[in-house]
Amino acid sequence: MIVVDAHVHMGPGLANHAAPPLLKAETVEQTLEIFDRSGIDVGCTFAPLIEGGDFEDYEYERSNRFIYDAAKRHADRFIGYCRVNPNLGQQALDEMRRCKEEYGFRGLKLHPDWEYFYLNGPTVRPILDRAAEYGWPVIFHTGYYPLSQPTLAMPLAEAYPTINFLLAHLSYRHTADAIVVAERCKNVYLETSGNATALAIREVLKSVGPGQLVYGSDLPYTEPDDVMEKIALQPELSADDRALILGGTMARLLGLNAATRSTVRAAAQGRLS
Amino acid sequence: MIDAHCHLGPGLRAQPPFGPLFDSETAESLFKLIDGLGIERSIIFAPSWQGGRAGEDFVDPSYERANEAVAAATAAHPDRLIGFARVNPKFGSGAVRELRRCFEDYGFRGLKLDNEADAFHPTDLRLLAPLAELCEARTAPIIVHTGFHPCEPLIFLPLAQKYPDIPVILGHMGGRILIDAVITAQHAPNVFLETSGQMPGYIARAAKAVGADRIIFGTDIPFNIPAVETKRIRSVGLSEADIEKITVGNISKLLGLTQPAMAR
Amino acid sequence: MIIDAHSHMGPAFESRKPYLPGVHPDEIIEILDAADIDMTCLFAPAWEGPEFIDTEYLVANRAIADASKMYPDRIIGYSRVDPNRRQRALDELRRGHDEYGFRGLKLHPLWEHFLPNNLKLMGPIAELCEEYRWPIIFHAGYYPTCEPALFIPLAERYPEVNFIVAHLGYAHVADSIIAAQLCRNIYLETSGNSTAGAINEVLKHVDARQILYGSDLPFTDPNDVQSKITLLPGIREETRRLVLGGNMARLLGIDEKVAVP
């Protein structure tokens, strides 16, 4: 069994937040400490949102590069995701290419609220065209009207059947909407990070089943153990289904094969012993 | 009438969802749009930057190009157009530089902020301090977009209370959550409620709750229908004297405008 | 002809005064006349207490029935019930159909606190409305119980019932658009404070035959909402006609040529 955290932030942008996050994940060492403590084998890792002021990285180039540089020596623990602002047009496309060709990143994070675009808005399409070309899963922050309502993912999921979409945070308060989408689109996965309640997780399990539920923590804003417990302690959840949710599905979406998995496990064990 | 909430500039060319209804890219197009409605002066500022239309990359997240366009319009029509700056506080010293340019070079009279579009926390007074200090020195008003989260009116209260000399104008007076806007206005005498897009009943309620002295008329051109906005303020049961304050007097006092002949 | 898809009247307004008066049918007619509205779909407002308590809308529905008898050519009476009452709600629906001559149903998932996609709860009601050929208008647009996406499963399960999503789904207009594109039996209605921009956006992406003018009177001035439609830049005459009344007439089986006095 491999534990893959689908929603990890790391980097200097975290130091710049007006309200400091719960844990520290500015450096690789700090982030690995959280991973090891919580039993996370691999983290899908991307830039935190940029609050600006002293730390200037509006285009996310510094933050993306940081993840590449820092995580190079721990490629078995970090799967780098690209983060861009689709409104920046060509710059965003160029940054995606750099992330793929130079950094070897394997996925894309988009935040409709912070970067101010409708989840299914016109600036997103060229970005998704490229993500489809790269075979990247795309994780959207979701859960706030009017820009990141999960409903808006439905036309995208239909238009891009080869892209695996992850709707983060179980869409917060709008889990019910997210379920409507996931029921109709098999390439949509609901991801638990943030403040997913045990009740919301259960609703997803009841309606869509474990195959479209994916564990993510939102660290360092949230304590990963907290989220993992809400999954692990779900009544009537088989060990197999739990393994799917905690990492099996994500490993499949990222093409982490058995060989990679055993390498990861060995490395993780080596680290712990 | 003075319209305290009007957008102008090339940023309007982008066609995001819920984009502009009309053309107010230039002074000429704006004047055509408001012809016959009795709007003598408009406070104009940049629309939110939302990326480029497909095939046209208009990249201006720092609003420098947008402010430049507003400045050109106000320079050509100083009798009818008053410019407010628009900056994205996330750009730190760059935003301060741009605001200074707007005040000193362009002669702008206030600042527009939108924390939903430009993604910052209005309660982060550390981020806003250098901008607020520039406004305070000139008693320049700050007009903010308000509505549901993340721009609920109450989150602007710390700013208003820290800088009591800055008039803080709550754009759209909170929309559906008028009640928040009223509570905010009741807690800080420098808070004003702007009318664009608001329901008739809520405007009436606001006037009763905080008084006509604290209400300011705006249209949100080109995102609303101007004739609907101008008609509404006269159809909510307010006295002539109160309508005069709301549509002319209050904003004139804030900006120290000597009113032109009140020709009707 | 202009038909307002969303209006309220009733004794609840005695103790909780809306923007315009709306206790007596004469007051409603006065508002209609001032806005050139030929007919309106009228139903009970939410009861709020403590002076007026009417948890199953029995008193309120009777008032609507009286109003529609007083002005049969102007007022189209709708029932309003609390689905959580189960059989009693169904009984009240039957009474509305058999005794009051009602033509539609208003439901408020937030105020009556139920989920539209709770098909076990909504099923019997939808089936009755299918039998009666009643459209169901839902207050829509607020978490947790009336986001537009939640109407999709219901509309899919009952394709013969017409579901009206009020207020264009308020802040969730983008969701409403997707719901209406997915389900031809979902209609979007403009009442409340729909902005001209939202109306414009909806007309861009949704068939004009699925858009209805509604005002939310007497909570607001129907002229304000109406003018956002009539003055919408570039709106075609045919679209205007459909939205302002043609679609609602079709949903209610009203022959416009006969109805207009």
- What structural domains does chain B harbor? 2-255 (3.20.20.140)
- Residue pair B111/B86 in contact (Cβ under 8 Å)? The answer is yes
Question: Which residues on chain C are in Cβ contact (under 8 Å) with B218?
Answer: none
C174–A180 CB contact, under 8 Å: no
How many domains does one find in chain A? 1
Nearest alpha carbon to residue B48 among A62, A147, A171, A50: A147
pLDDT digits (tens, 9 = 90+) for A59-108: 999 999 999 998 888 999 999 999 999 999 999 999 999 999 999 999 99
Share of residues in chain C with pLDDT > 70 (%): 98
At B262, is the pLDDT very low, low, confident or very high (cuts 50, 70, 90)? very low
CATH number at residue A43: 3.20.20.140
Out of A113-117, A194-198, C10-14, which region has the weakest mean confidence (pLDDT)?
Answer: A194-198
According to the model, what pLDDT value does residue B124 have?
A: 93
C18–B contact, CB cutoff 8 A: yes
Mean pLDDT of C15-22: 94
Please name the residues between 162 and 221 in chain C that touch chain B, using a CB distance below 8 Å: 170-171, 173-174, 192-193, 195-198, 200-201, 219-221
pLDDT of residue A273: 32
Region C3-259: CATH code: 3.20.20.140
Neighbours of chain C (3+ CB pairs under 8 A): A, B
For C116-174, the pLDDT digits (tens) are 999 999 999 999 999 999 999 999 988 889 999 999 999 999 999 999 999 999 989 99
Cβ count within 10 A of residue C144: 14
Q: Which residue of C has its CA nearest to B198?
A: C193
Query: pLDDT value at position B222?
Result: 95
- Other beta carbons within 10 angstroms of residue B205's beta carbon come to 18
> CA C156, CA C168: separation in Å to the nearest integer?
19
Minimal Cα–Cα distance from B124 to chain C, Å? 26
Using pLDDT thresholds of 50, 70 and 90, give the confidence band for residue C89.
very high
**Percent of chain C predicted with pLDDT > 90:** 91
Q: What are C37-83's pLDDT values in tens digits?
A: 999 999 999 998 788 999 999 999 999 999 999 999 999 999 999 99
Helix %, strand %, coil % for chain C, to 5?
50, 15, 40
| CA torsion, ordered A170, A176, A177, A183, to nearest 10 deg | 90
Pick from C200, C219, C228: which is nearest to B201 by CB? C219
Q: Residue A272: pLDDT above 50?
A: no
Would the pLDDT of A185 be above 80? yes
Nearest to B36 by CA among B264, B250, B255: B264
- Distance (Å) from the alpha carbon of B58 to chain A's nearest alpha carbon: 8
Q: Do the Cβ atoms of B59 and A122 come within 8 Å?
A: no
Per-domain boundaries in chain C: 3-259
Are the beta carbons of B18 and C219 separated by less than 8 Å?
no
In this prediction, residue A267 has a pLDDT band, given cuts at 50, 70 and 90, of very low
Stretch B191-205: mean pLDDT? 95
**Amino acid A52: pLDDT:** 85
Amino acid type, B163: Y
Confidence of residue A271 (pLDDT cuts 50, 70, 90): very low
pLDDT at residue B50 in the model? 81
* Cross-chain residue pair A151–C175, CB shorter than 8 Å: yes
Contact B231 C227 (CB under 8 A): yes
Q: How far is it, in rounded angstroms, from Cα C46 to Cα C8?
A: 9
Q: What is the pLDDT of residues B233-247, one digit of tens each?
A: 999 999 999 999 999
Cα B209 off chain centre by = 22
Best A16, A17, A51 member to test B by mutation, with max B CBs in 10 Å, is A51
Please count the CA atoms within 13 angstroms of the CA of A66 that sit on its side-chain side: 20
Q: In the prediction, which pLDDT does C36 show?
A: 97
Q: What number is the average pLDDT over the span C201-219?
A: 97
Structural domain boundaries enclosing A207: 4-272
Q: Which residue of C has its CA nearest to B234?
A: C224
Residue of A nearest to B89 (CA): A53
The C-alpha atoms of residue C63 and residue B163 are separated, in whole angstroms, by: 53
Q: Order the strands of the B168-171 sheet from edge to edge.
A: B2-7, B41-45, B81-86, B110-113, B142-145, B168-171, B191-194, B215-216
Contacts of A101 (CB under 8 A, 6+ apart): none
Contact A161, A187 (CB under 8 A): yes
For chain C, the average pLDDT equals 95
How far away is chain C from the Cα of A180, in angstroms, using its nearest Cα? 7
Order across the sheet with C104-107: list the strands.
Answer: C3-8, C39-43, C75-80, C104-107, C136-138, C163-165, C186-189, C211-212
